[in-house]
Amino acid sequence: TVRDPSLTVDLSGADFEAYYAPFLPRPLASDIDNPNVPNVEVLAYNGTDLILDNPGRMGYVIFKNKGTLDIKKLNQYPFPSIAPPSSTADKYYQIPSSFIIDAVETQPNTASARVPKKLGPKLDALYTYVPNGAYSSQSVIRKTESTVSGRRILKDTNNSAEDFDFLPLATPRGFK
């Protein structure tokens, strides 16, 4: 149950959602398909739900398929680690860099908890984080560079340390 409802975010009017139930032998009761929100195409999944890493040790990309390439036919590789991957290790698609529209890498707020970078410097030179760390309900948000004729232009130098700020509570469609 939710301990503090004031820290939750209403996503009932989201621009999109990832609905996992069709892929699972026993869908989670928490995975509800909102008929008012379009479902993204799920290319691959592992586990039973998409849970973002709360301490923030991940890199994220937005990409667009250029042409008619079947993404599901791209090579897949295990997550990089020091130990050799097991035969049952989850595998991930290697998306061509030319497809990537934007990228952001997040890290924990304390230096001692940080992990090696996931994204190369051409995609993201540094990383961003929320000052109060895991389970703080803070979120990262891209900074506004300018507004032209009512259109907001977001900062994008491919350096998340420069391009992002934080919000005390996630605000869908919010800007800073």
pLDDT tier at 1 (50, 70, 90 boundaries)?
low
Coil, strand or helix: which one is 99?
A: helix
**Average pLDDT, integer, range 137-166:** 96
pTM equals: 0.82
Q: How far is CA 101 from each of CA 27, 48, 56, 71, 122, rounded to the nearest angstrom?
A: 32, 27, 21, 16, 12
Number of domains in the chain: 2
The answer for residues whose C-beta is within 8 angstroms of residue 32's C-beta and 6 or more apart is none
pLDDT higher for 154 or 44?
154
User: Looking at the structure, do residues 73 and 160 belong to the same domain, yes or no?
Assistant: yes
User: Looking at the structure, do residues 40 and 65 belong to the same domain, yes or no?
Assistant: no
Which of 51, 71, 86 terminates a domain? The answer is: 51
User: Looking at the structure, do residues 23 and 69 belong to the same domain, yes or no?
Assistant: no
The yes-or-no verdict on residue 148 having pLDDT over 80 is yes
Task: Assign residue 150 a region (left: φ > 0; alpha: ψ between -120 and 50; beta: otherwise).
Answer: left
User: Looking at the structure, do residues 95 and 18 belong to the same domain, yes or no?
Assistant: no
* 123 closest CA partner among 96, 100, 99: 100
Coil, strand or helix: which one is 160?
A: helix
Report pLDDT digits (tens) over 61-103: 999 988 888 999 999 999 888 899 999 998 999 999 999 999 9
The yes-or-no verdict on residue 7 having pLDDT over 90 is no
Report pLDDT digits (tens) over 10-68: 888 899 999 988 888 888 888 889 999 999 988 888 778 778 888 899 999 999 988 88
pLDDT higher for 107 or 41?
107
Report pLDDT digits (tens) over 129-144: 999 999 888 999 999 9
The answer for residues whose C-beta is within 8 angstroms of residue 166's C-beta and 6 or more apart is 128, 129, 130, 131, 138, 139, 140, 141
Do residues 39 and 16 touch, judged by C-beta distance below 8 A?
yes
User: Looking at the structure, do residues 19 and 76 belong to the same domain, yes or no?
Assistant: no
Q: Which domain holds residue 71?
A: 54-176
User: Looking at the structure, do residues 128 and 61 belong to the same domain, yes or no?
Assistant: yes
pLDDT tier at 154 (50, 70, 90 boundaries)?
very high
The yes-or-no verdict on residue 163 having pLDDT over 80 is yes
CA–CA distance, 86 with 93 (Å, rounded to integer):
17
Q: According to the model, what pLDDT value does residue 25 have? A: 87
User: Looking at the structure, do residues 104 and 149 belong to the same domain, yes or no?
Assistant: yes
Secondary structure element (H or E) that encloses residue 60, with its range: strand 59-63
Do residues 66 and 98 touch, judged by C-beta distance below 8 A?
yes
User: Looking at the structure, do residues 58 and 90 belong to the same domain, yes or no?
Assistant: yes
